[in-house]
Amino acid sequence: MRIGVDVGGTNTDAVLMDQGKVLAWTKQPTSADVETGVADAIRSILSQSGVSPARIASVTIGTTHFVNALVERRELDRVGVLRLASPSGEALPPLTGWPRDLVECIDRRCYLLPGGYEVDGREMASLDENALRAAAVELRDDGVTAIAITCAFSPINAEMEHRAAAIVRESHPDATITLSSEIGRIGFIERENSAILNAALTTLARRVVRSFARACAAIGVSAPLYISQNDGTLASATQAEAYPVMTMGSGPTNSMRGAAFLSGLGDAIVMDVGGTTTDIGALSSGYPRESAISADIGGVRTNFRMPDVLAIGLGGGTRVHLDPALYGATELDEAAFRIGPDSLGYRLAQEGMLFGGNTLTTSDLARLAGIVSFGSADGLPVLSSTVLAALQARMRTMLEDGVDRMKTARGAVPVLAVGGGNFLIPDDLRGVSQVIRPPHAEVANAVGAAIAQAGAQVERVISYEAMDREAAIEHVAQLAREQVLTNGGDPATLATVDIEETPLSYLPGRAVQVRVRVVADLLPPPSIGASHAA
């Protein structure tokens, strides 16, 4: 049995699953201390099902805490930035183009040092070990423990970054070091940005992940703890503490994976409607389509793996801006009203008209239209049919435009409607073949976390003149398989889900960037497997 939890800004959703079947599920308010809300959610599903904590094989948690911290500019560490690319890599200093308030939050200390490689792997400049030691001592004396090291073309050759990290640790034993080669792709600035953001989240990641572990331990669940990543695969608690940026897109990813699992469809558009936004993504063979462009996180361009997701300002708590004098209008100009993008979020239960408040929201419109039955209709305004139809038409247009923006080909496509606010999605939309609401759609995000697999993605630049194409792909795939097994994957379920080849025409020798992604089901803990065998 596996537990999946998704910690959102408003609700914490949890499911208990046994061999693909949902045994229990719940939605609990997200607590300020994280730990309490997660513990309450897990305790609730165990109580519903009567299942002993000892029977749980794994707990997987998805969280928005890290991306929220960056967006809200809170709980970020001071960062020491070591760039190994001088003298040629000094044209654009680190953090160029970053929002000023974010730069001030991390209070960075930057060092531009000799080093790096050319695009073909040749050394560009020798590493200056004395300068590195001096920088490490300065950072140690200044109390900066989060350090990001970036070397030119380190995804092709990471040796210099690893040597630099070893030197820094000699002089600064308390340092927590992020290497850009372990996070981002070849693009230098975006990769450096990713490493800096990861370093800034060091303390928060440690606190949040350990609070999840305490929440599980408090109710007697001793199963392994995993954190879901951007690509729908799992990271161990230790990996998540080291690489929090790899989990920042896990919310939409979990919803899409859960939608695919619950519906049985591998190729579709997923619309996940929460309290504040509707996240629209595309499924390809059961996995989220990966973004082909640099992801913007908190105003910073990055290049680590992220799902291709479009977020629109329409959710269950989205405010409807309409003058009360127009509630009974028989004609309504489009300029006379606005839907969103602001939302009541977690305040919906206090300020929404359905719950006795004074703010008109999209949930109120759904109740007036007879789509939902929750809340009380006593406090709702009387809207004319003209006004209600105009507001619903605007929401429909927002959703249809979102689907069109995510489609890659002409023709109607199926849409999977999930999330607590999926009632806002009409049963018929332009450009959509059918709208499917799978069972347990409200907690598809937690289902996605529960079914997540161990995975790994490895990319290498290889010359097809030096190595046969099939042998090269197999070499990269084998590296990915080894990582999956290290992450707890079952050898019997190893599967290659994606192979991507990108010719690098500016390099000699028919150079190609080969990227291979492999997944596998988790191996059950020995005690669980033994009890099943018995």
How does DSSP classify residue 412? Answer: -
* Position 3 pLDDT exceeds 60: yes
> Considering only 6-15, 361-370, 443-452, 510-519, which range has the smallest mean pLDDT?
6-15
Torsion angles phi and psi, residue 500, rounded to 5: -130, 130
- Average pLDDT rounded to a whole number, residues 229-251: 86
How does DSSP classify residue 289? Answer: P
* Position 510 pLDDT exceeds 70: yes
Domain 77-200 has CATH 3.40.50: yes
Which pLDDT score is estimated for 526? Answer: 63
Residue-wise pLDDT for 464-502, tens only, equals: 888 889 999 999 999 999 988 988 888 999 999 888 888
> Considering only 22-36, 87-101, 290-304, 463-477, which range has the smallest mean pLDDT?
290-304
How does DSSP classify residue 212? Answer: H
* Cα separation, 410 vs 414, whole angstroms: 13
Task: Give the pLDDT band of residue 400 (cuts 50, 70, 90).
Answer: very high
Helix (H) / strand (E) element for 15: namely strand 11-18
Please tell me whether the peptide bond between 155 and the residue prior to it is cis, using omega within 30 degrees of 0.
no
Higher pLDDT, 68 or 368: 368
Percentage, residues of the chain above pLDDT 90 = 45
| Domain boundaries, given as residue ranges, for the chain | 2-70+205-248, 77-200, 264-450, 452-529
The reported pTM is 0.81
Q: Which fold has domain 452-529?
A: Dodecin subunit-like (3.30.1660)
Q: Which fold has domain 264-450?
A: Nucleotidyltransferase; domain 5 (3.30.420)
> Considering only 237-241, 259-263, 273-277, which range has the smallest mean pLDDT?
273-277
* 162-176, 306-320, 322-336, 464-478 — most confident range: 162-176
Domain 2-70+205-248 has CATH 1.10.3720.10: no
Which pLDDT score is estimated for 154? Answer: 87
How does DSSP classify residue 409? Answer: S
Q: Do domains 77-200 and 452-529 have the same CATH topology?
A: no
Q: Which residues contact 484 (CB under 8 A, 6 or more apart)?
A: 454, 455, 456, 494, 518, 519, 520
Q: What is the mean pLDDT of the chain?
A: 87
